[in-house]
Amino acid sequence: MLSRTNFLVSILLLCLSTVASYASDADTKRREMLHTSVYVGTETGDGSGTLIGKTDTGMNGVFRYSVLTNEHVTKGRFVSDPKSPTGRVDKECTVWTFDHVNGTYEAWPASVIAENKEVDIALLAFNSSEVLSIAKFATQDMLDRIGIFDEVFAIGCNLKDDFPGPTIGIISLISTERMGEVDVIVYSNTAQLVPGASGGGLFKEHDGHYYLVGIPFRLDTMRGNHLVPHLAEAISLSAVKNLIHKNAVILP
Amino acid sequence: MVSLSSRVTPVCLLLMLFAGVFFSISAVPERQCALHEVKKVDQIAVKQREMLGPVVRIGTRQSTGSGTIYEKIETEVDGTFEYLVLTNHHITKTRMVFSFNADFIIGKLIRVPIDTGCSVVVFDHEGQKTKRYTAKVVAEDAYLDLAILSFRSDQSIPVALSATDEMLKDVRVFDDVFAVGCQLGMRPTPTFGIISEVISGVTRKIEWMLYGTTSPITYGSSGGGLFREYDGHYYLIGIPFRVAMTPDYQVMSHLGNAISLFTARKLLDNNMVSKE
């Protein structure tokens, strides 16, 4: 009788530990992917971004955060103004950060610190007193080992005005594309995207953690300009690293 | 004796539980992750070899689609092979163009069909190379929307593993599947989804079976391969052939249909494919 009770208790504990391990994986996914995603708003457009760097400003509890996004998202900050000598005014960007537990968000004024139109990447920075999650950057070795059929997650603010959300898919093609004077690796993937997800993050699991491997930037279209959400493309992080190093972003 | 076992068993169980929890927390992650990583890399190589390799692009004068190499036959000519490709009839039929000749005797225009042929483009996924072959249509069935092409090559090209009837009977809703095809005319790319329905029936005395799948497909995917895993290998179970559309022609890519290999066998068996 005693042994049967112990046996049942043991089975129950094993089940609980299994459930706990699943729960912790979901927590890791949320912490390392979802919580690092932000919304980038401009005067005439919007998209997504990923928090990639955090430095202490020296001011009491204020951090300077770096956000990686697409240039085609940040270029919406320019508004035409005939009175301006350049014919346009820079209205800057706004970054929205999200508290997924309480369902709240906050907006922070952000400035563009670097951008590359050819490769379609931009780096934003903003100051915040909030403690925010930073995405883990994939190493070059991890990027080199990415192959077709690898499982990936795309995180972005799908349809623009929503909280960031994940989609799951696989790498379907790896190609090299000439962008300006640089050869850029592009990951085609089936993690579905819609407008608003540009500039978000493409993540891949490695040793139980989720690493940023690319920046979703484009969707294929077919007849009548219908979008094909499962034919998404992301710029490999290897193309982004120069921009980040030049601008002295401290990666986690 | 009884009291001893009743004491030892709970102690053993508790020890096993603690040992299990201890290993799950500390020792296992590094060793298991390394092993897991090696297995994952192997599995991805298997997927690439068994699913990407056999899928080809079919081209006609008016259209493009996909096909899957399902058989390789050694020919009498030294070192050459005949490859058989399964695809859709709605792709191969676009090889036919029509010209109109005026018949002055009967005073009518006569529609003359001209077969412009099909081509098969094979992709070397490691070397990123492609090779185009001229192919002939050896069998086709407009009703089943299936066609068989053949081409000759001296190269060794991967051939899909065909699911057996036993495996096909085992296909169920919620099974994981991969669809591989030349979407929008690109090189073969995979998508992942599940079986969403299995439909079967008998029409014109022919037993047929279709799979509904959420594995996204779009224009150009037709004739490619739907694959399912059995014992660590990936077997061809169907041919994606159509996708649902809204009234304004927006493709619902997750509402795809594939013809079961069970149905395709009717064509393969009944049409006695030339093996010359």
**The pLDDT of residue B31 is above 80:** no
Average pLDDT, chain B: 84
pLDDT band at B2 (very low <50, low <70, confident <90, very high): very low
- pLDDT, position B274: 44
pLDDT band, very low/low/confident/very high, at B7 (cuts 50, 70, 90): low
On whether both A172 and A98 belong to a single domain, the answer is no
Query: Tell me, what's the pLDDT at B269?
Result: 76
- Is pLDDT above 70 for A143? yes
The residue that leads in pLDDT, B151 or A158, is B151
Question: Which is higher by pLDDT, B154 or B34?
Answer: B154
The nearest CA of chain A is from the CA of B250 a distance in Å of 7
Tokens of A142: 């991890």
A17 has a chain B CB within 8 A of its CB:
yes
pLDDT band of B276, cuts 50, 70, 90: very low
Contacts of A11 in chain B (CB under 8 A): none
- In a shared domain, residues A126 and A199: no
| Residue A149 to residue B48, Cβ atoms within 8 A | yes
The total of structural domains in chain A comes to 2
Nearest CB neighbour to A226, from listed B51, B216, B250: B250
Domain boundary among A134, A169, A204: A134
Contact: B191, A190; criterion CB under 8 Å: yes
pLDDT at B94: 93
- pLDDT attached to residue B271: 60
Please indicate whether, in this complex, the C-beta atoms of B192 and A231 are within 8 angstroms of each other: no
Q: Which B residues 47-66 touch A at CB under 8 Å?
A: 47-48, 51-52
What residue spans define the domains of chain B? 1-52, 53-270
* Together in a domain, A81 and A148: no
Does the residue A28 lie in any domain? no
Q: Are B205 and B215 in contact (CB under 8 A)?
A: no
| B194 and B178 Cβ atoms separated by less than 8 Å | no
DSSP-derived 3-state class of residue B205:
coil
Does A143 fall in a domain?
A: yes
- Quick check: is A108 in a domain? yes
Name the residue facing A222 among B5, B184, B187 (closest C-beta): B184
Q: Given A93, A108, A134, which residue is the final one in a domain?
A: A134
Q: Give domain status of residue A105, yes or no.
A: yes
Mean per-residue pLDDT, A146-156: 95
DSSP code string of A71-107: HHHHGGGEEE-TTSTTSEEE--EEEEEEETTTTEEEE
Do the domain assignments include residue A11?
no
Please give the residue that has the higher pLDDT: either B177 or A24.
Answer: B177
What is the mean predicted confidence (pLDDT) over A208-228? 87
List the 206-225 stretch of A: residues with Cβ below 8 A of B: 207-208, 220, 222-224
Measure in Å the smallest separation between the Cα of B167 and chain A Cα atoms. Answer: 23
- pLDDT of residue B71 exceeding 80, the answer is yes
Tell me the C-alpha distance between B163 and B230, whole Å: 9
Report CB contact under 8 Å: B251, A220.
no
The secondary structure of residue A224, as a DSSP letter, is: G
Residue in A with minimal Cα distance to B25: A21
Q: Over pLDDT 70: what percentage of chain A?
A: 87
Question: Angle B2-22/A2-32 helices, nearest 10 degrees?
Answer: 10
Q: Which among B20, B186, B192 has CB closest to A169?
A: B192
**ipTM value:** 0.74
Q: What is the structure's pLDDT at B26?
A: 42
Provide CB contacts within 8 A for B262, sequence distance 6+.
B165, B168, B207, B209
Q: Does residue A239 carry a pLDDT above 90?
A: no
- Is the CB of residue B250 less than 8 Å away from at least one CB of chain A? yes
Q: Mind listing the pLDDT tens digit for each residue in A19-50?
A: 555 557 889 999 999 999 999 999 888 899 99
Per the structure, the complete domain to which residue A129 belongs is given by 36-134
Architecture of the domain defined by B53-270: Beta Barrel (2.40)
Contact B68, B57 (CB under 8 A): no
CATH code, A185: 2.40.10.10
At A178-200, the pLDDT tens digits run 988 889 999 999 998 888 899 99
Confidence of residue B173 (pLDDT cuts 50, 70, 90): very high
Could you tell me the two tokens for B160?
């899909």
* Residue contact B47–A169, C-beta within 8 A: no
Report the pLDDT value the prediction gives residue B105, as an integer from 0 to 100: 80
Whether A233 and A167 share a structural domain: yes
> A230 and B191 in contact by Cβ < 8 A?
yes
The whole-number pLDDT of residue A252 equals 60
Place of tokens 């504990």: A13
Q: Within an 8 Å CB–CB cutoff, is residue A14 touching chain B?
A: yes
Q: What is the mean pLDDT of residues B267-273?
A: 66
Regarding whether A148 and A128 lie in a shared domain, the answer is no
**How many other CB atoms are there within 10 angstroms of residue A8's CB atom?**
11
**pLDDT for A207:** 92
Phi, psi of A59 (to 5 degrees): -75, 155
Q: Residue B38 pLDDT > 70, yes or no?
A: no
Q: Per residue in B201-242, pLDDT tens?
A: 888 788 889 999 999 999 999 999 999 999 999 999 999 999
Q: Is B18 helix (H, G, I), strand (E, B) or coil?
A: helix
A229 inside 8 A of chain B by CB: yes
- Look up residue B218 and give its two tokens: 């779009």
* Calpha distance B92→B142 (Å, rounded): 10
Q: Report yes or no on A6 lying in a domain.
A: no
* Helix or strand holding residue B209 (H, E): strand B206-213
Are residue A169 and residue A210 in the same domain, yes or no? yes
Q: CA B76 to CA B93: how far, in whole Å?
A: 30
Find where tokens 């689609």 sit: B65
Q: What is the mean pLDDT of residues A235-243?
A: 87
pLDDT of residue B36: 56
Which percentage of chain B shows pLDDT scores above 70? 82
Q: Tell whether A19 is covered by a domain.
A: no
**Residue A173 lies inside a defined structural domain of this protein:** yes
A89 and A149 together in one domain = no
A150 falls in which pLDDT band (50, 70, 90)? very high
The CA distance from A240 to the nearest CA of chain B, in Å, is 24
pLDDT bin (cut points 50, 70, 90) of residue B23 is: very low
- Neighbour-count burial of B5, counting CB atoms closer than 10 A to its CB (0-12 exposed, 13-18 middle, 19+ buried): exposed
In chain A, residues 30-69 whose CB comes closer than 8 Å to chain B:
none
Q: In chain B, which residue's Cα lies nearest the Cα of A5?
A: B10
DSSP secondary-structure letter at B24?
Answer: I
pLDDT greater than 50 at residue B90:
yes
A contact test, residue of B22, B187, B191, B221 with most A CBs within 10 A: B191
User: Which of B6, B182, B189, B233 has the highest number of chain A CBs within 10 A, making it the mutation to test binding with A?
Assistant: B189
Which of A105, A134, A163 lies at the terminal end of a domain, its last residue? A134
Note the pLDDT of residue A102.
85
Whether the CB-CB separation of B257 and B212 falls below 8 Å is answered with yes
Is residue B210 within 8 A of residue B240, CB to CB? The reply is: no
d(CA B164, nearest CA chain A) in Å: 24
Intra-chain end-to-end CA distance of chain A, in Å: 54
**pLDDT tens figures, B239-255:** 999 999 888 778 888 99
